Structure 1
Amino acid sequence: MSQEREGLFYITDNEQFSLSLTDDDKRDLLTASKQIEVLEALNSYANALSQAADKGVTAELASAASTLATSTSGLVSAASPTSAAIIEPAGKFAGDLAGIALKNQYALKIRQIVRNVDPFVQRIAEQMPAALAEIIDGTRHQVENYQVSRGLTLAELRSDRRSTRLDLYREYLLARADVDGAWTLQTALENSAGIFAKLAAAHKALAENAPNSEAAIQDFATVANDLAALIKAVREARASK
């Protein structure tokens, strides 16, 4: 929003344009420190689970599970996000996650860790949608305003008779891609409640040693990939107060 506003000031010869965020812009920026902490811990746990299944490295899984359990403290009160460093989503799960089935020597240890951490995963699934609600509302408002601002800039460019049709078409394509990208991230945020519900169900199936373990593992792996996409969306999110 800041870039679009200041860019429009610049091309309309407004001498008040700025090349950086204004103080008001900075005050309006919100990130989600607690939410990101929990998502980071959940993502690390999911990847440690994959590694443990492949290699039998249970120490790293136990450590990740402990961090995840600790991170859930205070999540329910994190409805008003504050600034924090944002993480990149980790890699996707491999099909080798099926190694967690009870056919290898580490399976019992892994299964016990999964059982111990399941209450915390269930708590995250229950509380995270509410903790993300303010961010989702704020970013929707910003995306809507951003789309309007992009349209105003395009209209200003079209009013300049020096702009060729090719120039205008290129600018339209750029604006369209930017707005589409913003809505893609917004959609990922708004669909997040479904991701957490699926995550809870898939993890519960692992913890309870469901009869079809490989199917439960695949469900968990699929949701883990959705989680990585959600983390990317939260990473990009900026909401106004």
Structure 2
Amino acid sequence: MIAVLLAGGCAALPKAEKVKAFGAAVDSSAGILSDALSTNRVIAVRTSQERQAVAYIQGGRVRLDEADVDLGAIISAPEQVAMLDALQAYGKALELAADQGVIDELEKASVRLGEAAGDMVVAASPVASPVAGPALKVAGRLLGFSLGNAYAAEITSVIRARDPAVQKVTSLLVNDLEGIVSLIDIQVLNFDIKRQESLIAVRADRRVDRLALYKEHMVARADLDTIKVKQAALSNFKTILEKMAATHHALATNQVDTAKLIADFVALSSDMRDVLKAVNASTKR
């Protein structure tokens, strides 16, 4: 019976490189979304700074704090940040488990993900089924089965057990981020307008030479580019999260098109990361 379980279980185990690639993409994309979500507060503060700067340049009252109209646009989203952080930790742990066989961190991240999904009680070491999971782990070690496959069985059991949590968390985030993204779109537009007003106010002083104007323009452009690239990343939240959920489910159920789904998800995550790197590099020149 044990031999049959081992043979059947091993046939259903995803390859380590697939799990590693998927985990890295989850880590990267969830981290990018979490960082982009903080853009809401950044834009509010920067818009207020520009508003006060223009007033100062034009001889108005000096203020060194944020205007109420800008502070009122700041969103508190601790639950959404916690869910994204849990997904990021889970992805990082999947990558580490697949690459180095480190299971403990995966189990901890798995528990955290379950809690983020709202599960009241989360098992520290989930298994794929009440019979096959323990049989794979115990028999694999007692019979001298390869350590790699024993670890793979444990990783697979976690993926299968946590698939409902991944589906729930990604679905909640898709619903919750819709309104936040719409607000950030409006904020970016307002910041763009305020940044332009600053440039116009500086240019109005004829004592400012062309080189200074050029430098001011490039700084303003860098400011806006940095914010807009995060806005663009966050605007892709639905595609990112839906691909993440579909790929995880494919891994959990050993679907035939898993490799393609992983490749598509990894490509999307890589594209976002590369764009962010390029913009960050250009603003540091």
2:255 to 210, 222, 226: 210
Deviations 1:166-207 (A, max 9, x none): 111111111112112222111111111000111011111211
| CA RMSD across the alignment | 2.6
Residue matched to 1:38: 83
Q: Percent identity?
A: 37
1:196 to 225, 241, 245: 241
Residue matched to 2:55: 9
The structure richer in helix per residue is 2
Residue matched to 1:97: none
Question: Which consecutive unaligned segments of at least 5 residues does structure 2 have?
Answer: 1-46, 120-146, 275-285
| TM norm structure 2 | 0.64
Residue matched to 2:170: 125
Does the C-alpha gap of structure 1 residues 211 and 105 become closer, same or farther in structure 2, counting only changes over 3 Å? farther
2:227 to 162, 182, 205: 182
| 1:209 positional shift | 2.1
Distance in 2, matches of 1:8 and 1:40, equals: 38
Q: What letter is aligned with 2:54? A: L
Deviations 1:42-79 (A, max 9, x none): 000000011111222212111111111111229xxxxx
Residue matched to 2:159: 114
Distance in 2, matches of 1:22 and 1:124, equals: 35
Residue matched to 1:86: none
Quick check: 2:159–2:251 contact (8 Å CA) kept in 1?
yes
Deviations 1:71-130 (A, max 9, x none): 1229xxxxxxxxxxxxxxxxxxxxxxxxxxx96330011101000001111122222121
Residue matched to 2:42: none
- Give SS of 1:17's match: coil
Quick check: 1:114–1:206 contact (8 Å CA) kept in 2?
yes
Quick check: 1:43–1:227 contact (8 Å CA) kept in 2?
no
- Give SS of 2:150's match: coil
Pairing 1:140–2:185 present: yes
Residue matched to 1:56: 101
Distance in 2, matches of 1:225 and 1:114, equals: 23
Question: Which consecutive unaligned segments of at least 5 residues does structure 1 have?
Answer: 75-101, 230-241
Does the C-alpha gap of structure 1 residues 227 and 185 become closer, same or farther in structure 2, counting only changes over 3 Å? closer
Distance in 1, matches of 2:72 and 2:62, equals: 18
Quick check: 1:68–1:120 contact (8 Å CA) kept in 2?
yes
Quick check: 1:38–1:68 contact (8 Å CA) kept in 2?
yes
| TM norm structure 1 | 0.75
Distance in 1, matches of 2:207 and 2:158, equals: 67
Q: Give the greater-gyration-radius structure (CA).
A: 2
Q: What letter is aligned with 2:169? A: I
Does the C-alpha gap of structure 1 residues 194 and 217 become closer, same or farther in structure 2, counting only changes over 3 Å? closer
Quick check: 2:50–2:194 contact (8 Å CA) kept in 1?
yes
| 1:212 positional shift | 6.6
Q: How many residues align?
A: 201
Q: What letter is aligned with 1:4? A: E
